[in-house]
Structure 1
Amino acid sequence: MTDAAPFAEPRRRPARKGPRVAIAAGLTLVIAAGVGYAAELGPFDPGPPTADPEARKQARAFLADWEAGRMSRAAALTSRPEEAERVLKSFTSGLDISEPSLSAGAVTAADDGTATMAFTAKMPVTELGTWTYDSALPLRRQDDGAWKVDWALSLVHPKLSSTHKFRLEREDSEGPEINDRDGNALSGSTHPSLGPLIPQIAKDSGAGPRGAVQLVDRATGEVTGTEASFGKKSERPADKPVTTTLDATWQSAAEKALAAEADGKDAALVALRIDDGEILAVANSPASGFNRAVSGTYAPGSTWKIVTTSALLLKDAVAPGDVVDCPKYLTVGKRFQNVEASEHRDATFRKDFTASCNTAFIGLRDKVGDQELGDVAGKYFGVGQKWNVGISSYDGSVPVPRDQTEKAASMIGQGRVQANPLIMASVTATAVSGTFHQPTLTGTAKDTTTTTALPREVVAQLRELMRATVTEGTASALADLPGAVGAKTGTAEVSEDVPNNGWFVAHRGNVAVACVVEKGVTGGSSAGPVVRSLLGAVPDGAS
C-alpha cells in the first residue's frame, strides 16, 4: 500500500440490474452528505474550543486590579505572584504612568486547554501624553482546577522581555516663559489661576515638554526602538517666550475679585474681547483646582435667556413691548417658579427679561420648535461646535428636549443645557456685537467653526434689554459704573438639597465677562459683586 492509498478511488464493482441500483445510488448520496457534515459543514462540527467563563472572569479581575493600582491583588491572580508584583510596580513607576486604562477584549481557547484574552492598554505618562498599545493575557488552568494568569513579561507589553526593557526620556521639562499680550511675564506665583494652565498653553504652542518611551537592551543600555513619542517638534528658539492673549491687568483684577467677593465658594470667571474673542482673563477659585472657567459643565440658568430671547426675536415671536404675563408658578409636568416666587402680572416682555421671569419665558415655549433653541445656539453663537481655544475646553451642549417639561427647563437654561463662564462670556459678546468669534488664549488656534451673524435689529434689542437689566432690573449691582454697561443675572438650580449656583454676565466697552459662583443662591447677590469688583478695578476702555 502506498502513501496515496487512503485517497485512492475505491475498486468499482459491476453494476447490477433492478431496484438495487437505485437503492445503492441513494445510499451513496446519503453517505456523501454525511461525509460533508462530518468534515466541516454540518451540525456535527464541534467548532473551535470555547473559553471557560471562569478564565474570562479571572482575566478581567487581573486587569481591574492592575488598572486600580492594586498590584498585590493583581499579582496574586498570576502563576508567579512575587515576580508579577515587582514588575507591575516598576513598570508604572519607572515610566511615570498614572491611572492606566485597561480594556478587555475577546477571549480565545486553544486545543491544549489554555486561553488568551486580548486587551488594550492606555498608559498616561505624566505631563506628556498617553501611550496606547495592544497586548494579551495567557491563562492556564491550575492543578486545583482554578484559572490563573500564566505570568510572562510579554503580557505587560509584547516587547518586554528578559533581554529588553523600557526607558522614559524627557526633554524641555522646564517649559518656556509665558507672556501676556503686552510682553509681561505670567506665572503661577504672580497669577495663581494660571499655574495649572501654563503647561497646557506651552504644550499647545509646540513649546511644551517632549519625551519618548524607548525600548533598550538590558545588557548594553542601547536604544533599539521608540515605542511612543510625545510633544511637538518646535522651531521656536528655547529662549523665546510664548505670547498669549491674556492681559496681566485683567488677570490680576479677576483673581482679586474672586478672592474678595466669592465668599470662599468654588467660583470661576472669564473676560474676553468682544471684537475678536481674545481671552483677557481666566480665573478660578480655588486657583489650583479644576479649571471651571473653561472646562466646567453647568446649567447656565437665566443668563441663557439671552439665547432664548434671540430665538424668539429672530422669528418675530415676541417684541419687547408685548404683554407676556409673569405668574408666580407655572406647571409643565412639574411646577416651575420665579426666584422667591415673585410675580409681575400683565408685564411686558422687557420687564420679564429685566426681572428674569422664569414663568413668562416658559409660557413662550410653543413659539419655538423643540430643536430650535439648540439650532440658534449653534448657528449664531457657536455653542456646541468644536472650539480650538489653545487649551482643553468644554464647548457647550443644547440637546433636543425629550419632553415638554425638559423643553420648559431649556427655555430658562436648565434641564440638559450645559455651559461654563467661557461659553457665556462668548454668548454675551456675540449678543451685543452680532458676530461670533471663537475664543482663544493664544491667538494662533485655527477657527473651524461656522456661524451666521445676528440681524442688526436683534442685536439692538438685546443690547437695550441688557442695559435695562442694569438700570432697572436684577443686575443693579453694576448701576453705578460709568458707561453703557449691560448685564444679565442667572440662578441655576442644582438639586433640591443643594443651594443654587449664581451667574452673572456683563459687557462694557469691548469686553464681555461671565462669572459663576457655586452654591451662590442667586446671581445678583453672589456673582454680581465679583463682576462689579472686576469692572471697578479696570478702567473703562482697557482692553
Structure 2
Amino acid sequence: MDTQVDFTQPGPPRSRPPGAAKVLTALAVVTAVAAGGAWAAGLGPFERGGDGPDPEAVAEARAFLADWSAGRLPAAAARTTSPDRAGQVLRSFTSGLDLGRPKLTAADAEEQEDGTVTVPFTARMPVSDLGTWRYGSALPLREQKDGSWKVEWKLSLVHPRLSGTDKFRLEREETPPVRAADRNGVALTAAEHPSLAPLLARLAGGPDGRGPRGAVQLVDRVTGEVRRTEASFGGRAATTSDGPVRTTLDAAWQSAAERALARAGGKNAALVALRVEDGEILAVANFPVSGFNRALSGTYASGSTWKIVTSSALLLKDAVAPDDVVDCPKYLTVGKRFQNVETSAYPGATFRKDFTESCNTAFISLRDRLGDGELGDVARKYFGVGQTWHVGVPSYDGSVPVPRDETEKAASMIGQGRVQANPLIMASVTATAVSGTFHQPSLVEGTEDTTSTAPLPRGVVTQLRSLMRATVTGGTARLLSGLPGDVGAKTGTAEVSDDQDNNGWLVAHRGGVAVACVVEEGVTGGGSAGPVVRDLLTSVPGS
C-alpha cells in the first residue's frame, strides 16, 4: 500500500525519448530521477498576504526549474516569454557537454522596484565521468497582461556568461584506464562486470585522487578562442606504473547483482548492496550499464521505503508505539488527496500494521506529531542523509528540505514531496536502522569522513528490526519470506508524474548486508524491485 497521490494540477503533456542509454539525452530520459513535476514545482496551497513577491510568480519560477531539471524542456520553455527561442537554447545548451540530469535549487525570491520578481537559483550540472559543474544564476519574472507570470527569457538566465557571442565547450584529457580490484584482490573489468564501466571511469583511486580529468570552458562562438575556464575536474592522472585501485566491492556480489538486475525487464534500474557493520559497498549495479549512474548519483523520491526514517522520528520522541491504533482510511486530504494503492483501507489498524502494509494515510495522519523540520533533522543526525559523503566516486547524498506547506509536509512523511534519495542512500538508511549506527558508505579505502551522527537508541533499533521483519513475514515484502535467514525489508512505490508509471522500490537486510533497489516505472515495489532483491539474496546465501 505504497505511495499514490491524486494530483489535481496535471502538467503539460510530455513526449518520451526513444533511447535511454545515450548520455546526451539524459536530461530527457532520467525524468524519473526528478522529485516529481508537481512536487518539485512547489505547487502547494499558497495564500497571498502581506509584503513580498507574489507567490504565483515564485510558483512559476519553481515550476520552470522543475521542468528544466526533469528534462521537460518544451514545458519549461512554455513558461517563458519566448517559448520557441527558450526551447532551442535549453536543448542546445547541453550539446557536447555530456551533462546528466541537473539539480536546480531556488533561493528566496526578490521583488524589484519595477514590479518584476527575481528568483536566484544554484545549478549542479553532472558532467559524465568527471564530476559536477556548479554555478549560480537567476530567473527574472514579469506579470503578463492576463495576470499570469512568465519567466522573462534571456540567455543569461541559463548561465550568467552564456551570450550571443560566447558558449561553453567540454575538453577532456586523455588518461590511461584505471585498473581496479575487488576487496579480495580479484581484478574488476568492464568486460566481466559491464555495470561497473561508468563507475570504473570515475573511480577516484582513494587518497591519490586518480581519475579522469577535464574542464568546461567558455569559448568564442565563431573562433573557438578560450575566454576562461568555468570548471575543472579530476585529480592527478593515473600512470602505467600505478597499481590497481583496491575497492570494497566483492566480485561475487557484483556478478550476482548484475544478473539479478536483469529481472527488471529492461527498465531503468539500480541496486546497491553494502555491509551493515562498516558501510563498505559490495555491489553497485545499473541498467542500462552505460551512462548515468542511478545507483549512486540518482535523485529519486524514495516512496514508502522512507517510512523507515519517518518511523524512527516518531519512535524517537515516543509519538507512537507499534501497538498503538492508527487508523488507515482509503483517503486523506491535505491540500491534495492522498490514497493507498488500490485505495485499500485497514480500519482500526495498529501502527505495526500500517508499517507492514505501507499505509500512506496513517503515516500522513501523524504529521502533526513532528515539527516541520524534524524529519530532516532526524535524517541528518542519525542517518547522515544530506551531509557530504566521500564515497570514493561522485555521489548524491540526499536531501530532506523543510516543507514549504502542509501538503508538502504530508508528502514528506511517505517519501514524496522534495525528499530525494537513491539506492546508495536507502541501503545506508537500512543498515543504520538495523544496527543503530551510521557508517559513511565507501567504495575505496582511505576515503575522508566528515560526517557527524548520533547512534539510534537501542529500543528504537529493536522496534525498527521488528517492523521490517513483520513486513516480510506478513506484509508487502512477503515475497522474501521463503529466503533463509532473518530477513527484514520495506517496500516502496513512488509517484513521479501524472503521465508516468510509479517507480518501484525495495530495501532489505540479511546476514550483515543491506540492499536497496529501484526500478523506474516498475509500478509497485513488491512487483518490480522485489524479484530483483530476492534473486540477489538467493544467489549469495552466505551473506
The two structures have a TM-score, normalised by structure 1, of 0.66
**Corresponding residue number in structure 2 for 1:531:** 533
Matches within 5 A, 1:383-394: 383-394=385-396
Q: 1:368 aligns with which of 359, 367, 370?
A: 370
Q: 2:334 aligns with which of 332, 335, 357?
A: 332
SS at match of 2:272: strand
SS at match of 1:197: helix
**Corresponding residue number in structure 2 for 1:502:** 504
Q: 1:254 aligns with which of 257, 260, 264?
A: 257
Superposed displacement of residue 509, structure 1: 1.0
> Are residues 240 and 489 of structure 1, via their aligned partners in 2, closer, same or farther at CA, if it must alter by over 3 Å?
same
- Contact 2:130–2:202 (8 Å) recurs in 1: no
1:313 is aligned to 2:348: no
Superposed displacement of residue 444, structure 1: 1.6
Superposed displacement of residue 453, structure 1: 0.3
**Corresponding residue number in structure 2 for 1:464:** 466
Superposed displacement of residue 210, structure 1: 6.0
> Are residues 419 and 97 of structure 1, via their aligned partners in 2, closer, same or farther at CA, if it must alter by over 3 Å?
closer
> Are residues 406 and 203 of structure 1, via their aligned partners in 2, closer, same or farther at CA, if it must alter by over 3 Å?
same
Superposed displacement of residue 208, structure 1: 2.9
Amino acid paired to 1:428: T
Superposed displacement of residue 467, structure 1: 0.3
> Are residues 174 and 461 of structure 1, via their aligned partners in 2, closer, same or farther at CA, if it must alter by over 3 Å?
same
Superposed displacement of residue 477, structure 1: 1.1
Greater Rg over alpha carbons, structure? 1
Amino acid paired to 1:492: A
SS at match of 1:445: coil
**Corresponding residue number in structure 1 for 2:265:** 263
> Are residues 288 and 210 of structure 1, via their aligned partners in 2, closer, same or farther at CA, if it must alter by over 3 Å?
closer
Superposed displacement of residue 331, structure 1: 1.1
Matches within 5 A, 1:177-188: 177-188=179-190
> Are residues 365 and 192 of structure 1, via their aligned partners in 2, closer, same or farther at CA, if it must alter by over 3 Å?
same
What do residues 167-194 of structure 1 show as CA deviations (whole Å, max 9, x unaligned)?
x9956x2223210110111111111111
Superposed displacement of residue 235, structure 1: 9.6
SS at match of 1:196: helix
Amino acid paired to 1:244: T
> Are residues 334 and 231 of structure 1, via their aligned partners in 2, closer, same or farther at CA, if it must alter by over 3 Å?
closer
> Are residues 212 and 263 of structure 1, via their aligned partners in 2, closer, same or farther at CA, if it must alter by over 3 Å?
closer
Q: Distance in 2 between matches of 1:335 and 1:126?
A: 39
Superposed displacement of residue 516, structure 1: 0.5
Q: Distance in 2 between matches of 1:239 and 1:355?
A: 52
Q: Distance in 2 between matches of 1:527 and 1:331?
A: 29
Superposed displacement of residue 228, structure 1: 11
**Corresponding residue number in structure 2 for 1:9:** none
Superposed displacement of residue 490, structure 1: 0.5
- Contact 1:300–1:420 (8 Å) recurs in 2: yes
> Are residues 390 and 321 of structure 1, via their aligned partners in 2, closer, same or farther at CA, if it must alter by over 3 Å?
same
Matches within 5 A, 1:56-455: 68=92, 173-202=175-204, 205-209=208-212, 231-233=234-236, 238-259=241-262, 261-455=263-457
Q: Distance in 1 between matches of 2:442 and 2:459?
A: 28
> Are residues 227 and 291 of structure 1, via their aligned partners in 2, closer, same or farther at CA, if it must alter by over 3 Å?
closer
Superposed displacement of residue 206, structure 1: 2.8
- Contact 1:493–1:500 (8 Å) recurs in 2: yes
Amino acid paired to 2:209: G
> Are residues 246 and 357 of structure 1, via their aligned partners in 2, closer, same or farther at CA, if it must alter by over 3 Å?
same
Amino acid paired to 1:501: N
What do residues 387-417 of structure 1 show as CA deviations (whole Å, max 9, x unaligned)?
1111111111111111111111111111111
Superposed displacement of residue 371, structure 1: 0.6
What do residues 87-138 of structure 1 show as CA deviations (whole Å, max 9, x unaligned)?
xxxxx9xxx9878xxxxxxxxxxxxxxxxxxxxxxxx999778999xxxxxx
Amino acid paired to 2:256: A
- Contact 2:205–2:444 (8 Å) recurs in 1: no
Q: Distance in 1 between matches of 2:128 and 2:293?
A: 18
Q: Distance in 2 between matches of 1:231 and 1:501?
A: 33
Superposed displacement of residue 230, structure 1: 6.7
Q: Distance in 1 between matches of 2:500 and 2:133?
A: 40
Q: Distance in 2 between matches of 1:303 and 1:125?
A: 29
**Corresponding residue number in structure 2 for 1:489:** 491
> Are residues 356 and 281 of structure 1, via their aligned partners in 2, closer, same or farther at CA, if it must alter by over 3 Å?
same
1:476 is aligned to 2:478: yes
> Are residues 304 and 278 of structure 1, via their aligned partners in 2, closer, same or farther at CA, if it must alter by over 3 Å?
same
> Are residues 334 and 207 of structure 1, via their aligned partners in 2, closer, same or farther at CA, if it must alter by over 3 Å?
closer
Amino acid paired to 1:325: D
Superposed displacement of residue 497, structure 1: 2.2
Superposed displacement of residue 156, structure 1: 8.5
**Unmatched 5+ stretches in structure 2:** 1-84, 100-125, 135-164, 217-228
What do residues 307-326 of structure 1 show as CA deviations (whole Å, max 9, x unaligned)?
00000000001100111111
SS at match of 1:189: coil
> Are residues 477 and 125 of structure 1, via their aligned partners in 2, closer, same or farther at CA, if it must alter by over 3 Å?
closer
Superposed displacement of residue 240, structure 1: 1.0
**Unmatched 5+ stretches in structure 1:** 1-60, 71-91, 100-123, 133-154, 158-167, 214-225
- Contact 1:175–1:202 (8 Å) recurs in 2: no
Q: Distance in 1 between matches of 2:289 and 2:476?
A: 29
SS at match of 2:203: helix
**Corresponding residue number in structure 1 for 2:57:** none
Q: Distance in 1 between matches of 2:230 and 2:369?
A: 57
Aligned residues: 386
> Are residues 128 and 249 of structure 1, via their aligned partners in 2, closer, same or farther at CA, if it must alter by over 3 Å?
closer
Between the two proteins, what is the percent identity of the paired residues? Answer: 71
Q: Distance in 2 between matches of 1:208 and 1:262?
A: 31
